[in-house]
Amino acid sequence: MKGHKLSAYTLMEITVAMLLSAIVISVCYTAYGLIDNYYQTFRLKNESQDQALTLRHVLNQDFASHSIIIARDNGIELIGDSIGVTYMFEQGLVLREIKNVHTDTFRLSPSSLILKFDGKEIEVGDTINELDFFVRIDKGVEIPMNFRRVYSAVQLYK
> How far is residue 113's CA from residue 36's CA, in Å, rounded to a whole number?
37
User: What confidence category does residue 89 fall into, taking pLDDT thresholds of 50, 70 and 90?
Assistant: very high
94-104: pLDDT as tens digits = 999 998 889 99
What are the residues facing 97 on neighbouring strands? 86, 103
CB of 77 closer than 8 Å to CB of 83 = no
Q: Which helix (H) or strand (E) holds 107?
A: none
Look at residue 31 and tell me if it is in a domain.
no
Q: In sequence order, what are the residues at sequence separation of 6 or more whose Cβ sits closer than 8 angstroms to the Cβ of residue 59?
A: 87, 131, 145, 147
Look at residue 73 and tell me if it is in a domain.
yes
Look at residue 19 and tell me if it is in a domain.
no
Look at residue 95 and tell me if it is in a domain.
yes
Taking the CB of residue 74, how many other CB atoms lie within 10 A of it?
A: 14
111-146: pLDDT as tens digits = 888 898 888 888 888 888 899 999 998 888 899 999
Look at residue 11 and tell me if it is in a domain.
no
Whole-model pTM: value is: 0.76
Look at residue 34 and tell me if it is in a domain.
no
Q: What is the pLDDT of residue 123?
A: 81
Look at residue 105 and tell me if it is in a domain.
yes
Number of domains in the chain: 1
Q: Kindly list the distances between the CA atom of residue 95 and the CA atoms of 6, 49, 92, 111, in Å, as whole numbers in the listed order.
A: 77, 17, 10, 14
State the residue range of the domain holding 112. Answer: 48-157
Look at residue 3 and tell me if it is in a domain.
no
